[in-house]
């Protein structure tokens, strides 16, 4: 299994609409570790680490968001994996 790590900065109406909680549920189902947190600039920062195909699916999900969210953009960057084992919301 090839482990990868991606950081996604999600823009739009993504705070206060259960985006982080739904992201955690999606990550748990996919076996992806990481975190999701609200930023002071209104974006949600998502870190995803795991199998390359599963992380790609989660990045794609971030571009759409939860049913209540209105995503207007997602900036994705590659990072070195750190060996994360679970998913946390902050």
From 6, 20, 24, 43, active-site residue: 20
Which residue, chain included where needed, has tokens 């996919």? 30
Identify whether 38 is a catalytic site residue.
yes
The CATH number of residue 29's host domain is 3.30.70.100
Judge whether 16 lies within some domain.
Answer: yes
60 pLDDT tier (thresholds 50, 70, 90): very high
CA separation for the pair 90, 86 (Å, rounded): 13
Instruction: Name the phi and psi angles at 29, rounded to 5.
Output: -65, -35
Contact 43/10 with Cβ under 8 angstroms? yes
Identify whether 57 is a catalytic site residue.
no
Judge whether 90 lies within some domain.
Answer: no
Each residue's pLDDT tens digit, 11-46: 999 999 999 999 999 999 999 999 999 999 999 999
The helix/strand/coil state of 56 is helix
The pLDDT value given to residue 76 = 98
Contacts for 41 with CB less than 8 Å, ≥ 6 apart: none
From 38, 39, 63, 68, active-site residue: 38
90 pLDDT tier (thresholds 50, 70, 90): confident
Judge whether 13 lies within some domain.
Answer: yes
| Structural domain for 54, as ranges | 3-81
Judge whether 52 lies within some domain.
Answer: yes
Structural domain tally of the chain?
1
Judge whether 42 lies within some domain.
Answer: yes
């Amino acid at each position: 299994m090839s482990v990868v790590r991606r950081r996604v900065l999600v823009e739009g109406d993504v705070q206060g609409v259960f985006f982080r909680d739904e992201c955690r549920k999606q990550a748990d189902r996919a076996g992806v570790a990481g975190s999701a947190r609200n930023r002071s600039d209104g974006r949600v920062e998502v870190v995803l680490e795991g199998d390359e195909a599963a992380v790609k699916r989660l990045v794609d999900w971030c571009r759409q968001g939860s049913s209540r969210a209105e995503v207007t953009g997602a900036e994705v960057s590659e990072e070195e994996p750190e060996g994360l084992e679970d998913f946390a919301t902050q």
